[in-house]
Amino acid sequence: MARALYIHWPFCLAKCPYCDFNSHVRNGVDVELWRNMLLADMRHEAELAGSEPLDSVFFGGGTPSLMPPVLVGALLEEAERLWSFAPGIEITLEANPSSVEAANFAALAGAGVNRVSLGVQSLDDEVLRFLGRLHNGQEALSALDTAQSAFRRVSFDLIYARPGQTLEQWEGELRRALGFGTEHLSLYQLTIEAGTRFATEVRQGAFVPLDDDPAADLFALTRELTEAAGLPAYEVSNHARPGEESRHNLTYWRYRDYVGIGPGAHGRRDGMATLRHKKPENWLDAVADTGNGLKEERSLGTAEQASEALLMGLRLAEGVDLTGLSQRFGIGREALVHPPKLAFYESIGLAWRRGDLVGITPQGMPLLDALLGELVPADLVAA
């Protein structure tokens, strides 16, 4: 049963050139309409998966910090009514660090949000312009300040492995970032996603993405510095003081059920993959017509679920419990992870085994996708 709720707010002030999320730029959003529709979509899921209290709620986007705090409050109120909240529930909202949005932080905290994830991306004005962000470094710093006084838990994102970025440059930036004393950091390597403006620019030769070799060096440096600062990596790109991990995101990686509502939101409900209409207008129409925004509900076979559990779980430093997975999906351990391959990659230091647990070493993490291709048997993937 789902103990995590994701709510998608699909609007942004401008589209960032690297972004392939479900985000849209619209003039004027009918807040009243959106509130009603999100509430309806939420009720639909609560009916099907609403028996246990929630451990986490996550407002993602788009830019949920553009939501009026009263809307956030109304949604949380309804969620609590439908599911009830477990003690110490984590309620996260993604925010952009502009002064306008920072002005809302106190009100959002009042509405129940207790954790923010700030899209700082860089502390350097020139880089922020390259990344097409609307804020500058100074604004980001003061937003961070405001956030830290408004919320108990604050995390922020940085994008690194940018074109031409050197080890020295990144070390300087990351050390500064660690100095702000947040208990959580998300550090993403810049990825050129198909269909983004950056993809077009790269094709046209406007800039050259950083090669894999230097990117791998930056990855290693990141691990080293965060570890030394007491925020070790608990996932490929996420770092936290122990105990301060994002509980909501751990739900995904530990492959537990989660409810996803709003445009384009994915969910997992009892072996079923749910997907909602991506385009805001289509989602609105669907909710108006049918009472929910579902585009697709697909039942996943146990092999498919097991492969999902592996490809999410092995992102975590804690690894996966093979015996647990084997029992959960009724699939033999050998069919989950190919034993000779595991032994081989363990022998060359890219994977580890401890009792029932199997995981990827820090050296293996930057190679995770290739390792998954090796370790997860073809039958499981093809099934």
Partner 1 sequence: MTDLALIRNFSIIAHIDHGKSTLADRLIQATGGLTAREMSEQVLDSMDIERERGITIKSQTVRLDYTAQDGLTYELNLMDTPGHVDFAYEVSRSLAACEGALLVVDAAQGVEAQTLANVYQSIEHDHEIVPVINKIDLPAAEPEKVRAEIEDIIGIDASEAVLTSAKSGIGIPDVLEAIVKKIPPPKGDRAAPLKAMLVDSWYDPYLGVVILVRVLDGVIKKGQQVKFMQGGTEHLIDRVGCFTPKRVELPELGPGEIGFVTAQIKEVEQAKVGDTITTAKGGATEALPGYKEVQPVVFCGLFPVDAADFEKLRESIARLRLNDASFSFEMESSAALGFGFRCGFLGLLHLEIIQERLTREFDLDLITTAPSVVYRIQLNKSRTDDAREIMLHNPADYPDPSRIELIEEPWIKATVYTPDEYLGPILKLCQDRRGIQRDLTYVGGRAQVTYELPLNEVVFDFYDRLKSITRGYASFDYEQIGLREGDLVKMNILVNNEPVDALSMIVHRSVAEARGRHMCERLKDLIPRHLFKIPIQAAIGGKVIARETIAALRKDVTAKCYGGDISRKKKLLEKQKKGKARMREYGNVSIPQEAFIAALRMGEE
Residues in contact with partner 1 by CB under 8 A are 6, 22, 60, 188-189, 191, 212-213, 215-216, 219, 236-237, 249, 251-252, 258, 260, 264-268, 273, 275, 304, 307-308, 311-312, 315, 341, 344-345, 348, 350, 365-374, 376, 378, 381-382
Gap between the Cα atoms of 5 and 58, Å rounded: 6
DSSP structural state of residue 233: B
Is 19 among the residues that bind ligand SF4 (CB under 6 A)? Answer: yes
Using CB under 6 A as the binding rule, whether residue 23 contacts ligand SF4 is answered as yes
Residues 112-141 that bind ligand SF4 (CB under 6 A): 119
Contact call for residue 263 and ligand SF4 (CB under 6 A): no
CA gap 207, 196 in Å, rounded: 14
- From candidates 15, 241, 278, 279, binder to ligand SF4 by CB under 6 A: 15
> Within 13 A of 332's CA, how many CA atoms are on the CB side?
6
CA distance 311 to 326: 15
Return the number of the residue (93 or 303) whose C-beta is nearest ligand SF4.
93
Q: Which is nearer to ligand SF4, 124 or 257 (CB)?
A: 124
Give the DSSP letter of residue 165: -
Residue 307 binds ligand SF4, judged by CB under 6 A: no
Q: Is 21 in the site for ligand SF4 (CB under 6 A)?
A: yes
Residue 84: CB minimum distance to ligand SF4, A: 30
Name the residue nearer to ligand SF4 (CB basis): 12 or 140.
12
Helix (H) or strand (E) holding 73: helix 69-83
CB of 106 to partner 1, least distance (A): 27
Q: Which of left, alpha, beta for 62 (phi over 0: left; psi -120 to 50: alpha)?
A: left
State how far the Cα of 118 lies from the Cα of 186, in Å rounded to an integer.
10
Whether residue 118 contacts residue 97, with contact meaning beta carbons closer than 8 Å, is answered with yes
273 binds, among ligand SF4, partner 1, none (CB under 5 to 8 A by kind): partner 1
Token pair listed for 157: 């994102």
CA distance 297 to 119: 31
* Contact between 360 and ligand SF4 per CB under 6 A: no
Least distance between ligand SF4 and beta carbon 132 (Å)? 7
Q: In the complex with partner 1, which residue's Cβ is closer, 37 or 159?
A: 159
Please list the helix, strand and coil fractions of the chain in percent, rounded to the nearest 5, in that order.
45, 20, 35
Tallying the residues shown for the chain, one arrives at: 383
- Residue located via tokens 């899209």: 119
For the chain, list the strands marked E by DSSP. 4-9, 54-61, 85-95, 115-121, 153-160, 184-189, 238-240, 259-261, 266-269, 272-276, 294-299, 320-321, 351-354, 357-360
Look up residue 1 and give its two tokens. Answer: 């049963």
By C-beta, is 16 or 210 nearer to ligand SF4?
Answer: 16
Under rule CB under 6 A, residue 12 binds ligand SF4: yes
From the CB of 27, what's the least distance to partner 1, in Å? 26
The listed partner (partner 1, ligand SF4, none) that binds 86, CB under 5 to 8 Å by sort, is: none
Minimum distance of partner 1 from residue 253's CB (angstroms): 8
Q: Which does 249 bind (CB under 5 to 8 A by kind): partner 1, ligand SF4, none?
A: partner 1
Binding site for ligand SF4 (CB under 6 A): 12, 15-16, 19, 21, 23, 61-63, 96, 119
